[in-house]
Homo-oligomer: A and B are copies of this chain.
Amino acid sequence: MANVRAPQIQVYDSVTEVVCEPEFSIKVRIYYEDTDFGGVVFYANYLKYMERARTEFLRCKGVNQSELFAQERRLFVVKSAQLDYLSAARFDDLLSVTAEVATVRRASMQFVQHCTQAQPADGAQIGKPVVSARVTIACLDADSFKPCAIPGALKMSLSH
């Protein structure tokens, strides 16, 4: 850190990584911001992690949501969510968050998503289920907020 700074850049640890096969997942580290005074992750925050996983899943499928919004004026919004909280995650835990498409319709699709312990801070079991969810997404016109068809190329890539 001082005047002898080594010039090389070393990747020390990959905190969040995206895994595409055999099942799509990202890793999410739990920070101060995620917890509440009960000592565990605040329940709304899991919806953030699931959104991050869906965004990375769509990126894997070639969907750039910022271009889709800016250029094609299309937006994905959540229509419904069913969440089951199975165990608590805590500060410093590393979670695995999956995103799998269960069904695709003309203007909506349903994801099944699981948060599990990937590297618990306190020695809990790896793979322990934390939250499971079923999330339905609609494709909307960004100006009218009316439903519109999922872009054809995405729909095709989802069926493979």
Contacts and interface: CB of A to CB of B under 8 A. Distances in A.
Contact of A83 (B18, B81, B122): B81
Nearest to A22: B5
15 contacts: A1-B101, A1-B160, A5-B23, A9-B19, A9-B22, A10-B20, A12-B60, A32-B36, A35-B36, A38-B69, A43-B51, A43-B78, A66-B122, A77-B85, A80-B82
Nearest to A133: B81
A62 interface: no
B13 A43 contact: no
Given A31-B52, A32-B36, A122-B66, A14 B11 contact: yes
Interface in A54-106: 55-56, 59-60, 64-66, 69, 75, 77-85, 88, 90-92, 100-101
Interface residues of A, number: 68
A7 interface: yes
Nearest to A34: B36
Nearest to A16: B16
Given A36-B33, A65-B91, A11 B17 contact: yes
Given A9-B21, A16-B16, A33-B51, 17 more contacts: A5-B23, A9-B22, A12-B19, A12-B60, A15-B16, A15-B17, A33-B36, A35-B37, A36-B37, A37-B40, A37-B91, A44-B45, A44-B51, A65-B92, A79-B84, A79-B85, A81-B85
Contacts of A64: 92, 121
